[in-house]
Structure 1
Amino acid sequence: MKDTLLTTAGDPRKAKFIAISERIIERIKTGELQPGDQIPSENELIKTYNVSNTTARKALLEIESKGWARRVKGKGTYVLNRTEDHHLLRTLGSIYATRRGFHDSLIAEGFTPKNIVLEKTILPDGISSEINGRHFIIEGPVMKLHQLRYADDILIKDEVKYISLQLCPKINRIPTEVSYFKVYENAYHLQITEVQQTLSVRILEPNTTNFDLARPTAAFVLDSAVVCTNDKVVEIEQSYYHGDKYKFAVIANPEKQPRPMV
């Protein structure tokens, strides 16, 4: 669908690339595009606004030069995190966000990520977890990965993952900063059918966790399970998110209503 912005804008003398950039920046300001979201590519702008590749490229450069987005080489242009306190917004229920992965999400938002692996071991026995009233089990062997996730040298996530070595043999040899969701799909050709998640809050006391806390601080606790074909559980996770650094949103996907018969 063509965007009518360029024919309805109040100033016909305004350069097309400026009009396009202003439209996208407005989408960022209203929250339609969130920090870390990919903004339309050069080809998408050409198709949407019926402009040349030069105009589309200049529009993207204009958005980036004004500090609203940054280009990640070989991946695209992403909305930067411009919140005053640099809160990180994460969306539960978003397969897109899950597929992109934690490391790449931080880079897209303009942060410098760092991981410290505390434990990476193979457990011969299985692991289980109760999420949303359901029992999820991974049969052994299982890789346990415990790592600390930093953004600009600030610890923001204490993450523990359990991954099936039956479904993903030798995944323990893969670098830990990758998006495991992409690895499941691309390297092991698993079809992800379901992601179950629960979010709770726990008060963490100073000197009792890996977070450097000066006072009791709320932390988000995320429990999740990733399920593939035949109800096989490929991953179970329990992670703590620094409560002062995060905000969470939820995507609701209402069931499609049946079309009326005619």
Structure 2
Amino acid sequence: MAQNPVSSLIGALADGSVEIVDLTQPLSEKTPVIKLPEQFEQTPRLKRHEISRYDERGPAWAWNWLELGEHTGTHLDAPIHWVTGREGLDVSRIPPSHLVGPAVVIDKSAESAEDPDYVLTVDEIRSFESEHGPLPEGGWLLLRTGWDARAHDEELFLNAASGRPQSPGFDAECARWLAEESPLVGVGVETVGIDAGAAAEFDPPFPVHYYLLGAGKYGVTQLANLASLPPTGALLVVAPLKLVDGTGSPVRAFALVPRG
């Protein structure tokens, strides 16, 4: 009798032939948050409010309440985050099957180090497919740019000393193709948002938000440790809060990676 696949996975985790890689940036009061132009409202960074700490307010327990934006730290963008997806799903209604799926990793860290405004194109995805096979049905494309190494320093991470943010991402046609023609359910990036830093100047502005969320797909931002994943073969798990009417949510993201 064939072994139960869950039992097989448990065995593979126990013997080290499958490794769990944490793709989540630490979430703290120092976690970088996106900064919009001054005319728009801003999202708050994480702030902790103490309720009790083993004292007269609660002698045997410590706990806090949190103040933070839905789009803080490593987080998921739901379709309703963008006007084009306003009739789509909130975070609480995303099918769990969309949050667990095969991942491909396209490594453009060298290009991004040379040009912080680097953007991925459809031709580059086609080139990846010619080497590694087609993008997986119901899967995720994770764009590795090396940007996670900057996450400890908000100034380096947002990289806006030139007067506008400079960070890598996808060009407008690539965003449209991913949304309308690819078999993927979402994309993940290491940067503060799913669009490139210069995307306010693209046509349409912020095309990944515009096309991907408008197509009912998803984005995950501020990922870490993509360098530890192979180009294909990893299983991505994204675990947001089941937040009713949520436009987004901080997540714990990790990947199951075969080793050996």
> Is the TM value for this pair above 0.5?
no
Instruction: Work out which structure has the larger RCO, using CA pairs closer than 8 Å and 6 or more positions apart in sequence.
Output: 2
Q: What TM-score, normalized by structure 1, do the two folds share?
A: 0.26
